[in-house]
Every structure is written in C-alpha cells, then in structure tokens.
Amino acid sequence: MQAATPARSLYLVAYDIADPRRLAQVGRAMKGWKIGGQKSFCECWLTQAERGTVLTQLGELIDSDLDRVHLFALDPRMTPRLYGVASTFSEPVFTIF
C-alpha cells in the first residue's frame, strides 16, 4: 500500500533584506524551494511541513529589526496572468531535494 502524498499549496515568498551578505544567503536558501520567480519574489509549492521549514530557515538568516520576509498563500482557483516571456509551471510531478 502506497502512502498518501501530502497536499501542496502554492505560496509567494517575498523578501527585502538590508545586508548584501544576508540577501545572498536568503537567495541561496530559497533556490532549493522555488519553482519560479524574480529577484526577491519566489513561487513555491509547499506542504505544511515544508512551509514551516522554510519559515524556520529564513528566520535564522534574517535580522528581524532590518529585514522583512512575507509568505503569501496563493488562491489555486485564480487563473495566472502572465506578461512578457513568462510561462506557468506545467510539470505534473516534481521533487525537491
């Protein structure tokens, strides 16, 4: 019997980091989670457990007096609006290492 796969939800992670060194660290941390985005905005498909891990990771990297991180749950019923050369993520299955 195969175990059920945890449900994933689409999130937008936005961050404003004051220090270039911390900004680079946050960018590297998000690289492992994001499926798309630009500069300091990342789209991530996350389970509830992964969401907690991302928030913990980011909380350890930022200076809460100077930096800001926001994580927004995106409504899956909304149709994406794409501009320029943007495209949607179309893979039916993906793995995060």
For residue 81, being part of any structural domain is answered with: no
For residue 97, being part of any structural domain is answered with: no
Predicted TM-score (pTM) of this structure: 0.76
H-run or E-run covering 70: strand 68-73
In the structure, what pLDDT confidence band is assigned to residue 90 with cuts at 50, 70 and 90?
A: low
Q: How many domains does the chain have?
A: 1
Residue, of 85 and 9, whose pLDDT is higher: 9
Query: 9-59, pLDDT tens digit by residue?
Result: 999 999 999 999 999 999 999 998 988 888 899 989 899 999 999 999 999
For residue 32, being part of any structural domain is answered with: yes
For residue 87, being part of any structural domain is answered with: no
**Tokens representing residue 23 in the block:** 């900004």
For residue 5, being part of any structural domain is answered with: no
Neighbours of 46 (CB within 10 A): 22
Q: What average pLDDT score do residues 61-71 get?
A: 96
For residue 64, being part of any structural domain is answered with: yes
Q: What per-residue confidence (pLDDT) applies to 60?
A: 96
For residue 9, being part of any structural domain is answered with: no
